[in-house]
C-alpha cells in the first residue's frame, strides 16, 4: 500500500461517513484552493430514474470542461454524504417536499472540481423541483429528457420492487406531466428523448454544444458501463424494443387503463398506445 493510499484509508477509518468520497474530497480541496474558476455554469440533467440518465451523464463527462459531483455508481448528487440525509428519502418523489437548496449547494461545491467551467448534477427527483433549483444555482442550464413510457414501465417493474403494474404506469405519467411543464417553462434548456439520444447520439452533442459551447468535445464513440438490460459495457444503444417485449399481455391491459386516459399527454411526446 502506497503512502497516498494509506492516507486515504486512515481518513476513511476516522470519518466513515465519507467512505468512497475521501479521495475526491481531498483532491478537490487541494485543487480548488489554488486553481478554481470564479464563474461556473450549473448543468442539471432532468430525467426520471431508469430512463438513460446514467448513460447520458457518462457521455457528457467525456468532455474536459465538465465536473460531476458524484463519480460513484449511479452518479447522483442526492447520494452524497450530508446531502443523502436530506434528499435520498422515501418521500423524494413527493413534489410537495421542499429542500434547503442553499445548504445542498454548499455541500455539492465541495465535491465538484471547481477548475472546470461546467458543474454537472444528475438526481432523477430534480425533475420535480427545477423551478426551485434555478433560483439558487445561477446560471443554471437544463437537459430535459424522457423515455417511451412502456420501456420506462418495464424498468420500474424489473429494477424497483415498490411498484405494482398500475402504480408503475401512473409513475411514468407523473414524470411526463412534470417534464411537459419543464419544457414549457424553463429557459436555458434543451429537450432530447432517450430514443433521439440513443438512435443518433450526435444530436445530443449538437443540441448541448448550442446551449453550452464548452461541451463541443463530447466523445460519443466510446463504450460505456452504465447499467443496462444486458449488463455489459457497450456503445450507446436503444434498448427499448428488448424491454417492451418483456411486458406481458396481462400487464399491457393494466398499463393501458392508465395510458388511454392520458392519450393527449402521450401525443405531446409522440408516443403511441400499444395494443
197-216 pLDDT, tens digit per residue, is: 999 999 999 999 999 999 99
Cα(148)–Cα(52) distance, integer angstroms: 11
The sign of the dihedral angle between the CA atoms of 66, 69, 70, 74 is: negative
Q: Whole-number mean pLDDT of the chain?
A: 91
Closest CA to 252 of 175, 179, 168, 162: 168
Cα(183)–Cα(100) distance, integer angstroms: 24
Mean pLDDT of 241-254: 97
CA angle 131, 133, 134 (to 5 degrees): 70
Q: Which residue shows C-alpha cell 418483456?
A: 246
- Which residue did the predictor score with more confidence, 206 or 230? 206
Q: What are φ and ψ of residue 257, in 5° steps? A: -65, -25
Closest CA to 173 of 258, 82, 274, 275: 258
Mean pLDDT of 109-117: 95
The cell for 191 is 429537450
Reported as a single tens digit per residue, the pLDDT across 72-83 is 878 999 999 999
Cα(108)–Cα(239) distance, integer angstroms: 32
Reported as a single tens digit per residue, the pLDDT across 136-173 is 999 999 999 999 999 999 999 999 989 999 999 999 99
User: Is 42 strand, coil or helix?
Assistant: strand
- Indicate yes or no: pTM above 0.75: yes
Q: What is the pLDDT of residue 21?
A: 84
Q: What is the pLDDT of residue 17?
A: 59
User: Is residue 229 pLDDT above 80, yes or no?
Assistant: no
Amino acid at each position: 500500500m502506497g503512502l497516498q493510499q494509506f492516507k486515504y484509508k486512515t481518513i476513511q477509518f476516522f470519518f466513515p461517513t465519507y467512505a468512497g468520497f475521501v479521495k475526491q474530497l481531498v483532491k478537490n480541496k487541494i485543487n480548488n484552493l489554488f486553481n478554481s474558476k470564479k464563474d461556473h455554469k450549473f448543468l442539471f440533467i432532468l430525467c426520471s430514474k431508469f430512463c438513460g440518465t446514467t448513460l447520458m451523464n457518462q457521455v457528457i463527462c467525456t468532455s474536459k470542461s465538465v465536473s460531476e459531483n458524484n463519480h460513484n455508481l449511479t452518479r447522483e448528487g442526492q447520494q452524497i454524504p450530508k446531502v443523502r440525509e436530506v434528499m435520498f428519502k422515501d418521500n423524494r418523489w413527493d413534489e410537495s417536499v421542499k429542500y434547503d437548496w442553499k445548504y445542498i449547494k454548499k455541500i455539492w461545491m465541495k465535491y465538484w472540481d471547481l477548475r472546470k467551467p461546467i458543474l454537472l448534477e444528475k438526481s432523477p427527483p430534480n425533475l420535480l423541483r427545477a423551478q426551485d433549483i434555478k433560483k439558487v444555482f445561477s446560471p443554471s442550464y437544463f437537459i430535459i429528457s424522457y423515455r417511451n413510457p412502456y420501456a420506462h414501465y418495464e424498468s420500474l417493474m424489473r429494477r424497483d420492487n415498490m411498484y405494482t403494474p398500475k402504480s408503475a404506469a401512473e409513475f411514468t405519467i407523473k414524470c411526463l406531466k412534470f417534464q411537459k411543464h419543464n419544457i414549457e417553462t424553463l429557459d436555458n434548456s434543451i429537450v432530447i428523448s432517450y430514443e433521439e439520444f440513443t438512435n443518433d447520439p450526435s444530436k445530443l452533442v449538437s443540441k448541448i454544444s448550442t446551449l453550452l459551447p464548452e461541451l463541443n468535445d463530447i466523445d460519443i464513440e466510446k463504450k460505456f458501463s452504465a447499467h443496462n438490460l444486458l449488463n455489459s459495457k457497450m456503445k450507446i444503444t436503444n434498448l427499448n424494443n428488448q424491454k417492451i417485449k418483456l411486458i406481458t399481455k396481462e400487464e399491457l391491459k393494466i398499463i393501458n387503463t392508465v395510458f388511454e386516459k392520458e392519450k393527449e399527454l402521450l401525443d405531446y411526446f409522440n408516443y403511441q398506445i400499444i395494443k
